[in-house]
Amino acid sequence: MFNALITEKVGEREFQTGLGQREIEDLPAGELLIEVQYSSLNYKDALSANGNPGVTRNFPHTPGIDAVGIVKESANDSFSVGDGVIVTGYDLGMETDGGLAEFIRVPATWALPLPSGLSARDAMVLGTAGLTAGLCVNKLLQAGATASEGKVVVTGATGGVGSVAVALLAKLGFDVVASTSKTSQHDLLKTLGASEIIDRESLSEAQRKPVLKQQWQNAVDCVGGDTLVNLLKSLGHSGSVACCGLVGSADLPATVLPFILRDVNLLGVDSVEIPLAKKRHIWEKFSGDWKLECLDQLATEIELAQVPEYLDRIMKGENIGRTVVRVK
Ligand SMILES: NC(=O)c1ccc[n+]([C@@H]2O[C@H](COP(=O)([O-])OP(=O)(O)OC[C@H]3O[C@@H](n4cnc5c(N)ncnc54)[C@H](OP(=O)(O)O)[C@@H]3O)[C@@H](O)[C@H]2O)c1
């Protein structure tokens, strides 16, 4: 028997998540049995625990799209018992029982060796949110973004993706504008490296004008909807937005005008289904020249039993930074 967070369906649209026990034999098939050391909380875990059918349809279920741990059994030549591994995304925590448990069993194709420059805990302080922030920054850099050409704005800046994006962009020398609703967290955002902080409402209202005053050269957007459209309208010529989230809306009520008048780019970012090699590249960056010294400042460490309370905060848009879950 091992401890696991379990979400159960208790009514037509009612779900309850709490600490329970599972049997190793009940885990899905897979080549790697992994003893989880740390997991982390992401927006998607909150959706899974609230029965969002776009994430999880079968209950009872153990959420947790992230895990880092030690291989206990391996049926794959690339991994040996005792190896440290990271697993994020693919189906983990969706229909496959997830990382908010003492054990997971997954296909070997989902697992990466833990890079030598990264502790297990720091890997989960970053987690899927950090990986996504890294992929956003990588996309901007590939599109030609440079620190010298103008400001970069990050929306949802106090959240998981946003806070890591602020810290990483600042580390790379960018002039970072953080967009947030949380006046209480301005000091944190400055500590992470933001040079300017704006109220997120200044970006959230639909604007009639086809393009707006050019305010920043690049952006990382976690919000979607009118916020994303306003970013597209207010980028400098040939600027880019890396779009990864939908906390505000999944809509994109845009026209083609910013694209054809200002040559701007809308860059899609997915951290879940991309090939493992692309994930590995970003994890290696985070253990090397992208190593963030401020991870402790954006991390809150909790135990499995505290997870339901913290998932509620995510659903209310109240999350700050990254929540790392000490599983063992
Ligand atoms: N594409 C991918 O592979 C991928 C991977 C990870 C996450 N995501 C998506 O990225 C988004 C952020 O994820 P996360 O883990 O960073 O979530 P999070 O930790 O809950 O942070 C979201 C932040 O967005 C802001 N926010 C919340 N509700 C909002 C609203 N209605 N309108 C505007 N801003 C709002 C809040 O920050 P402020 O108070 O500072 O404004 C909040 O802290 C989610 O939509 C998630 O699904 C996508």
Predicted confidence (pLDDT) per residue in 28-46, tens digit: 999 999 999 999 999 999 9
Instruction: Give the closest residue (by CA) to ligand 1 atom 25.
Output: 156
Distance of CA 43 from the midpoint of ligand 1 (Å): 7
**What per-residue confidence (pLDDT) applies to 317?**
87
Q: Is 125 helix (H, G, I), strand (E, B) or coil?
A: helix
At 192-230, the pLDDT tens digits run 999 999 999 999 999 999 999 999 999 999 999 999 999
Is 77 within 8 Å of 32 (Cβ atoms)? no
Pairing of strands 322-326, 32-41: antiparallel
**What per-residue confidence (pLDDT) applies to 328?**
81
What are the residues whose beta carbons fall under 8 Å from the beta carbon of 91, sequence distance 6 or more? none
**What per-residue confidence (pLDDT) applies to 53?**
95
Q: Does CATH number 3.40.50.720 belong to domain 129-268?
A: yes
**What per-residue confidence (pLDDT) applies to 313?**
94
Distance of CA 223 from the midpoint of ligand 1 (Å): 6
Is 151 within 8 Å of 178 (Cβ atoms)? no
Distance of CA 77 from the midpoint of ligand 1 (Å): 38
Size of the chain, expressed as the number of residues it contains = 328
Distance of CA 32 from the midpoint of ligand 1 (Å): 31
Residues with CB under 6 A from ligand 1: 42-44, 128-129, 132, 156-162, 180-182, 200, 222-223, 244-248, 269-272, 314, 317, 319
Work out the burial of residue 285: count CB atoms within 10 Å of its CB; fewer than 13 is exposed, 13-18 middle, 19 or more buried. Answer: middle
Q: What average pLDDT does the structure give for the chain?
A: 97
End-to-end CA distance of the chain: 14
* Domain residue ranges of the chain, discontinuous segments joined by +: 2-114+294-326, 129-268
* Of 222, 231, 249, 300, best ligand 1 pocket probe by most atoms within 8 Å of the beta carbon: 222
Distance of CA 38 from the midpoint of ligand 1 (Å): 21
314 Cα nearest atom in ligand 1 = 20
- In this predicted structure, the answer to whether residue 122 has a pLDDT above a threshold of 90 is yes
At 278-324, the pLDDT tens digits run 999 999 999 999 999 999 999 999 999 999 999 999 999 889 999 99
Q: Tokens 């990271």 correspond to what residue?
A: 86
Pairing of strands 14-22, 2-11: antiparallel
At 78-105, the pLDDT tens digits run 999 999 999 999 999 999 999 999 999 9
Instruction: Give the closest residue (by CA) to ligand 1 atom 9.
Output: 245
What are the residues whose beta carbons fall under 8 Å from the beta carbon of 164, sequence distance 6 or more? 126, 129, 130, 133, 134, 292, 298, 322
Distance of CA 73 from the midpoint of ligand 1 (Å): 35
Number of CB atoms found within 10 A of residue 168's CB: 27
Pairing of strands 14-22, 66-74: unpaired
* Of 247, 251, 311, 314, best ligand 1 pocket probe by most atoms within 8 Å of the beta carbon: 247
Distance of CA 244 from the midpoint of ligand 1 (Å): 9
**What per-residue confidence (pLDDT) applies to 114?**
98
Domains 2-114+294-326 and 129-268 share a fold: no
Pairing of strands 66-74, 32-41: antiparallel
- In this predicted structure, the answer to whether residue 63 has a pLDDT above a threshold of 90 is yes
Task: Give CA–CA dist 52/65, Å, rounded.
Answer: 14
The model's pTM: 0.97
Q: Taking Cα atoms as reference points, which of 63, 119, 61 lies closest to residue 86?
A: 119
Instruction: Give the closest residue (by CA) to ligand 1 atom 11.
Output: 245
Is 128 within 8 Å of 314 (Cβ atoms)? no
Q: Which fold has domain 2-114+294-326?
A: Quinone Oxidoreductase; Chain A, domain 1 (3.90.180)
Distance of CA 156 from the midpoint of ligand 1 (Å): 5
- In this predicted structure, the answer to whether residue 11 has a pLDDT above a threshold of 90 is yes
Number of CB atoms found within 10 A of residue 195's CB: 13
As a whole-number percent, the residues of the chain with pLDDT over 90 amount to: 98
* Of 161, 228, 271, best ligand 1 pocket probe by most atoms within 8 Å of the beta carbon: 161
Tell me the average pLDDT across 262-287: 98
CA 156 to chain centre: 11
